[in-house]
Amino acid sequence: MAAQKTGPGSRQPTINDVAALAGVSKKTVSRVINRSEFISEKTRTAVQKAIETLGFVPNPQARALAFRRNFLIALLHDNPNAQTVLNFQQGVLDAIKDSDLALLVRPVDRSSDKMLDDVRTFLEKQRPIGAMLLPPISENDELAALCDSLGVRYVRVGSAPLDDPLHCVSSNDREVVAEAVGKLVALGHRRIGFVRGPVGFRSAAEREKGFLEALADAGLTLAPELNEPGNYRFTAGIEAGEKLLVLAEPPTAIFCSNDEMAAGVMSVAHAKGISVPGDLSIIGFDDSPTATQIWPALSTVRWPIREMGVRAAHTLVPDFLTGTVKPADPDTATLASTFVERQSVAGPSAR
């Protein structure tokens, strides 16, 4: 039977209509809609067929009232890299697209002494089922404790494990940066510059540790003049490039803690007539669209941030989602980053 047609003036089918057509109670229809486990397959099939026949669409407001909660999950962030937030958000949307859930995105100010009060007000007003916390605020234990005290599920996202696997999704930044820098060493680079991430970010600290470990494994140290601060923005890469590339003995390779800063360093190299990778090798981190939009294409670490968004949603609300998820390590919920070698890396020249 085809679905009933609706139009101006026609009555929208109700849950009572579904119950009557399926020959069950209204409560049974509600249980099927809410994916209750205590329904026989025969009854579930009958109700789903009635829903399709009538073209019935559950009312989210009515469901929220029945469950005394909204079908909302929140994403809280204070991140200077908009692409990171967008990529993570897309992963969450991938995960919830066939569910009744909706995503709220809420920027917060981690530098404010009222941050926790502001988040409390937001959570109490919106009453989301759960919250996903992006770095660097995911590293705030008080914020996680606040979610817990309000009965709001939470998942912390980070560049290293921040919590138990039921409350955390992480990546292996330190190990993969050590691998990437190790490739520079293997090519013969000995003066390798470093552009750091923002102070207070766990991702910046993990990537710096990986960089220093790779040098130490090769019996090398980071010269002070080759160590430049950064904040994950393009302008920081320009500032670092202007300092590193005018040294009497400039680096033959530079590792930048994200792609935007690597693009800034590369733009300075081009402006100064320094060949990449002939005179200078550059590696970034993220594998953002920037990595393949600049020339030469940037060798970088692919951070699985979109996949981390999928994993975070399934960790946060597994009872609301269906389908398969690429499994993470069962002990740490860690998703592996990978080194992607492109055209910005070569052995050192004889200049």
pTM over 0.85, yes/no: no
Number of domains in the chain: 3
Q: Are residues 204 and 233 in the same domain?
A: yes
How do residues 270-286 score in pLDDT, each as one tens digit?
999 999 999 999 999 99
For residue 42, pLDDT over 80 is answered with yes
**Domain range for 239:** 173-303
**Is the same domain home to 167 and 316?**
yes
Same domain, 167 and 182: no
Together in a domain, 162 and 203: no
User: In Å, how far are 70, 81, 148, 151, 305 from 130, measured between CA atoms?
Assistant: 10, 23, 10, 9, 19
Whether the CA torsion 314, 318, 321, 322 is positive or negative: it is positive
Whole-number Å distance between alpha carbons of 178 and 68: 49
In this structure, the answer to whether residues 193 and 168 fall within a common structural domain is no
The string of pLDDT tens digits covering residues 47-89 is 989 988 988 876 655 555 455 557 899 999 997 778 889 999 9
Residue 6 lies in a domain: no
Question: 191-203: per-residue pLDDT in tens?
Answer: 999 999 999 899 9
Residue 260 has pLDDT above 60, yes or no: yes
**Residue 343 near residue 297 (C-beta atoms within 8 A):** yes
The mean-pLDDT minimum among 165-179, 280-294, 331-345 falls in 331-345
Phi, psi of 192 (to 5 degrees): -115, 120
* Residue 297 and residue 192 in one domain: yes
In a shared domain, residues 104 and 197: no
